[in-house]
Amino acid sequence: MSIQEKILCSKSHEYLLDNEDGTYTIGLTEYAVKQLGDIVFVELPEVGAEFKKGESFAAIESVKAASEIYMPISGTIKEINDAVVDNPETLNEDVYEKGWLVKIESKAPQSEFADLLEYEDYKEEVE
Amino acid sequence: MTKETFLHGKHVALGAKMVDFAGWHMPVQYTSIIEEHKTVREKVGLFDVSHMGEVFVFGKDAMEFLNHIVPQNIEKLVFEKAVYCQLPNKDGGLIDDLIIYKIGIQNYLIICNAARIDEDLNWMIRNKKGFDVTIENESNNYSLLAIQGPSAYDLVKKMGYDAKEQESFTIKLAKVAGHKMLVSRTGYTGEDGFELLVENEIAEEIWDKILSDGNEFGIKPIGLGARDTLRLEAALHLYGNDLDENTTPIEAGLSWSVPKDKVADYNGKNVIMNQIQNGVEKRLIGIKMVDKFIARHGYEVYFNGEKVGTITSGGISPVLGSNIALAYVKNIKEICTGATVQVMIREKLHDAQVVKRPFVQKRNIVKTNK
């Protein structure tokens, strides 16, 4: 199963990957990164910070503009990807293996997943 | 309705990302803003800047008329020379910034900002009473192509025009790629370069020829994204960001361009001369961020805990590897080169150092035999 088959995407262009151990990986979709162009700055939250679904938890800046990144579901930050803070351009190469943003622990109810899209549906929506 | 330049098809075919800018559908980038930026600093780049305005002013009183609407001394502008000018209102605030070229005994060419063509024309027409002068907006009849970078001279030479006799800030009628056209040795990047004023009918032909002849120099087409980062490193003002109708040339740090001894009266002269003598309340500064955070247009600037101003242009400097910005601040003596100010970024203050402008010095000497 490819990673695209496993992720859910929000309409604000974050992806959510279920690690099947109570944690989820969150990143920015390839489409969003392509739209932004050269990524030059990434600001991530601190481990332990709690965010509700829809809250801004990070900022990503391209040459042209700053964008806020929103939580696809509620959760607590368990791990952040320091490598993308040090090398923001990593996101332009890969948004999954190297370019993920944070891992969260979440007990979000099913209702929070209702507006997230399967990758194929998301792709259709944005293209 | 969004307008398209005569090179629109070329941009789309090259796979450029297109955006709306000043009413035009323009390429913001072809591949990567950072790569395009470096190409212009290290090699040579080609820009379609056909959205910019071309206004011809001619007639018996053309010199006197222009002298009345800009602070610069048009009386001293000789044939084939260009001068960077501003168009102030009666209060010294800027309607636009422009380059004026003398292209004939009583003929001048004005290159102005795309978004300001209508305002400029209205203002000129309102001010032409009593002057025997004709103002013609030819913006739709010409395409403007900019060739910028250290290899610009060699590229234009390869295209049949050796510009060794042409100094910076001059314009000449020259034959490039078999066509006669006005060639100006100017630009908006802080590099040596040329701007070619070509008839729309041959714009595509010249564009293709520049790219094919430029191949050996490593030429790339450059979008508006890199045009913005290049002009910011060179600390060149962007109208609408760093200049507006409430800002005078003195506040904008453009005193160097305003003659102190001009005899003729011009719009805003009282305010401008008064500011030269007695100082200003706000002024433009250049800052360099201490950390990795990026200051952007509209962010607030603090000094000693007090809000003192606003960022008007900010972003990355690919050449310096740090983040830079232009800001207007209260004219406080202590906010001088080397001083530390703070920028409010997402509700936190980040240190920045006041630095000299331009942020990146022009490295290549303009090639002429003089």
Q: What percent of chain B has pLDDT over 90?
A: 97
The Cα-based distances of B343 to A56, B30, B124, B326 in angstroms read: 21, 32, 39, 12
Q: Is A61 in Cβ contact with B225 (below 8 Å)?
A: no
- The secondary structure of residue B3, as a DSSP letter, is B
> Which domains does chain A possess?
3-126 (2.40.50.100)
Provide the pLDDT for residue A1: 78
> Which domains does chain B possess?
8-51+140-233 (3.30.1360.120), 281-355 (2.40.30.110)
Low-confidence ranges of chain A (pLDDT < 70): none
For B10-44, write each residue's pLDDT tens digit: 999 999 999 999 999 999 999 999 999 999 999 99
Q: Which residues contact A117 (CB under 8 A, 6 or more apart)?
A: A8, A9, A10, A11, A125
For B155-192, write each residue's pLDDT tens digit: 999 999 999 999 999 999 999 999 999 999 999 999 99
Provide the pLDDT for residue B129: 96
Q: Is B225 in Cβ contact with A64 (below 8 Å)?
A: yes
For B293-340, write each residue's pLDDT tens digit: 999 999 999 999 999 999 999 999 999 999 999 999 999 999 999 999
**Out of B225, B292, B293, closest to residue A63 by CB:** B225
Provide the pLDDT for residue A127: 83
* B333 touching chain A per CB within 8 A: no
- Residues from A contacting B (CB-CB < 8 Å) are 37-38, 40-41, 43, 59, 61, 63-66
Give the SS3 label for residue B226: helix
Tell me: pLDDT of B366 over 70.
no
Residue range B81-96: mean pLDDT, rounded = 98
Provide the pLDDT for residue A38: 96
ipTM comes to 0.91
Provide the pLDDT for residue B363: 66
pLDDT bracket for residue B346 (50, 70, 90): very high
> At residue A83, what is the residue type?
A
- Token readout for B293 is 């955070």
Q: Is B293 in Cβ contact with A41 (below 8 Å)?
A: yes
Closest of B144, B154, B212, B218 to residue B181, by C-alpha? B144
Provide the pLDDT for residue B361: 86
Give the SS3 label for residue B180: strand
Tell me: pLDDT of B370 over 60.
no
What residues of A are in contact with residue B18 (Cβ under 8 Å)?
none
